Amino acid sequence: MVSESLTGETSLSQEFQALSMSMSKGLVRNPSPKQKSNNKRDEINDTRWSSWKCLNLNGRNGSCKVVAETNETFVDQNGRRKSSSAIDCFSYGMKEKFWKRNARKTYKLEPQKSRSDVFLPDDILEMCLVRLPLTSLMNARLVCKKWRYLTTNQRFIQMRQDGLHQNPWLFLFGIVKDGYSCSSEIHSLDVSNNQWHRLDASILKGRFMFSVASAKDSVYIVGGCSSLTNLGKKTHKGVLLFRPLSKSWHKMASMKYARSSPILGTCSINRNKRFVLIAIGGVGSGDERLETGEIYDSTSNKWSEIQRLPVNFGIACSGVVCNRVFYVYSESDKLVGFDVERGYWVWIETVSIPPRVHEYYPKLICLSGRLFMLSVLWCEGDGEIGRRNKAVRKVWELDFVNFSWFEVSTHPDAPMDWNAVFVSDRDVIFGVEMFKIFGQVLDFLTVCDVSASGEGMIWRHVSRNKMANELDAYSCVTKSIAVVHL
């Protein structure tokens, strides 16, 4: 009986162990067809429930170990590859990693859902958009109304001004097509990428001989006339403000006197809180040459008259603001300065006067508090036999200590355009020449970087014959340029 009892207990123990092994293997087998029909989350719950039911596999403090089936391949002593299926029990604390791994697999098996609920906060989106180049920014505004609003409000424009993501853009105004018809287009050049673009400017159609000046991210269009002939000619008092970043136009307060081709100067006072725009000279409504001037103050949003040009000064032909002094040069080679803060003119007596050909008016520019002038003069061939005289364009700088002009550079191109326009921007000089030769209008855009240390003033060509082929020859006379960082 004892042996039978022992035998019965042994067989019962063996059956119990076999049952345990079969249950353990059953727990890690692939789910049944019925279980496959359940979603993946139920599979994970089933796995947790199976591990909770595992027999005699409890870990420390009653925590359940995770049971998983592993298929391993090994090589026996005879060099044959064999596979083995075994049950590995992960130690305490590893079940979370195991479940996370299975959860990732389950997530990958789920069908991709729409991510339309994922969005960026407005402030993060603004930080992304403000770093775009201007061309990409214009395209981004076409995405949706929200993006257009975010990139055109005053907060965004201020962020763009204060940021370091701006590049210089050159704007060419006063384009004439089809004879006496002023074009309703502005040609703009992305200097960094050397790409020309066209902007709509219907508001300028039929308006000639206006002057432009840039300040921060805006361009001011001042005065002008309605015709290039005296027949039905009307001179304008109006002033327009053009903001390229938002492609917007605004009417400013009108001047007291109508004038075309006035000499302009811009200046910021009191750390950019007060802005002034000065207009001097030009041609009046009766085609008379004006000696009067007026100033626009941003604080009052009004124009007011300033002192007339000094007696015997002559006709103003060029001017620029440098160190809060509005310097004006005359056709009779005289120089005066208007103190913007004190409001009066002073004579500037110079020891020397740069030689020049009188058909070419000199151009004043200012860079980093330094006053320069470009003029055309005849070169006598350096005294060599067989060398012909030729006209060259020189760059001169005014020594504020000795008040004398000295030569600093020579422009690489022959001065074919007597109305070449030059404008300064920070430490760079931009020049546009346009002239008609052999029945074709040609254009040249040159740039000179004054900040190049140890190399002097080096001129380089940025664009040649890229935008003047379809323009009328009158564009050579009516053109004007402005540079804005956008």
- Which pLDDT band, with edges at 50, 70 and 90, does 90 fall under? very low
The more confident residue out of 185 and 254 is: 254
Q: What is the rounded distance in angstroms from the CA atom of residue 222 to the CA atom of residue 240?
A: 7
Residue 29 pLDDT greater than 60, yes or no: no
Q: What is the pLDDT of residue 386?
A: 54
Average pLDDT over residues 25-46: 48
Residue 140 pLDDT greater than 60, yes or no: yes
Q: What is the pLDDT of residue 102?
A: 53
Q: What is the pLDDT of residue 474?
A: 87
Q: What is the pLDDT of residue 217?
A: 85
In a domain? residue 234: yes
User: Which two structure tokens, joined as six digits, stand for 125?
Assistant: 């989106």
Q: Which of 54-68, 86-100, 151-165, 459-473 has the lowest mean pLDDT?
A: 54-68
Of 274, 306, 338, at which residue does a domain stop? 306
Instruction: Report the 10 Å Cβ neighbour count for 330.
Output: 21
In a domain? residue 153: no
- Which pLDDT band, with edges at 50, 70 and 90, does 468 fall under? confident
Please compute Rg for the chain using Cα positions: 40
- Which pLDDT band, with edges at 50, 70 and 90, does 387 fall under? low
In a domain? residue 91: yes
Q: What is the pLDDT of residue 249?
A: 94
Distances (CA, A) of 158 to 152, 293, 434, 476: 10, 32, 35, 36
Q: What is the rounded distance in angstroms from the CA atom of residue 245 to the CA atom of residue 151?
A: 9
In a domain? residue 434: no
Average pLDDT over residues 139-159: 84
- Which pLDDT band, with edges at 50, 70 and 90, does 406 fall under? very high
Q: What is the rounded distance in angstroms from the CA atom of residue 405 to the CA atom of residue 323?
A: 18
In a domain? residue 465: no
Most confident of 22-36, 69-83, 130-144, 356-370: 356-370
Most confident of 137-141, 202-206, 263-267: 263-267
The residue to which tokens 């039911």 are assigned? 53
Q: What is the rounded distance in angstroms from the CA atom of residue 241 to the CA atom of residue 231?
A: 28
Of 249, 281, 306, at which residue does a domain stop? 306
Amino acid at 293: G
Residue 475 pLDDT greater than 50, yes or no: yes
In a domain? residue 357: no
Q: Which of 133-137, 246-250, 306-310 has the lowest mean pLDDT?
A: 133-137
Q: What is the rounded distance in angstroms from the CA atom of residue 379 to the CA atom of residue 382?
A: 7
Residue 428 pLDDT greater than 50, yes or no: yes
Closest C-alpha to 242, from 189, 196, 280, 186: 186
Residue 161 pLDDT greater than 80, yes or no: no
What pTM does this model have?
A: 0.72
The more confident residue out of 63 and 432 is: 432
Q: What is the rounded distance in angstroms from the CA atom of residue 467 to the CA atom of residue 226?
A: 24
**What is the pLDDT of the chain when averaged over all its residues?**
78
* Number of compact structural domains in the chain: 2
Of 78, 109, 140, at which residue does a domain stop? 109
Q: What is the pLDDT of residue 227?
A: 85
Domain enclosing residue 211, as ranges? 207-306
Residue 64 pLDDT greater than 70, yes or no: no
H, E, C per residue of 223-253: CCECCCCCCCCCECCCEEEEECCCCEEEECC
For a pLDDT cut of 90, what percent of the chain falls above it?
A: 42
Distances (CA, A) of 29 to 47, 186, 246, 445, 460: 11, 75, 66, 78, 77
CA quadruple 349, 355, 360, 366: dihedral, nearest 10: -50
Amino acid at 80: R
Q: What is the pLDDT of residue 131?
A: 83
Average pLDDT over residues 41-59: 43
In a domain? residue 158: no
In a domain? residue 100: yes
The tens digit of pLDDT for each residue in 208-234 reads 999 999 988 899 999 999 988 777 789
Q: Which of 46-55, 321-330, 337-346, 362-371 has the lowest mean pLDDT?
A: 46-55
Distances (CA, A) of 364 to 30, 60, 279, 329, 369: 87, 89, 15, 8, 13
Average pLDDT over residues 437-466: 84
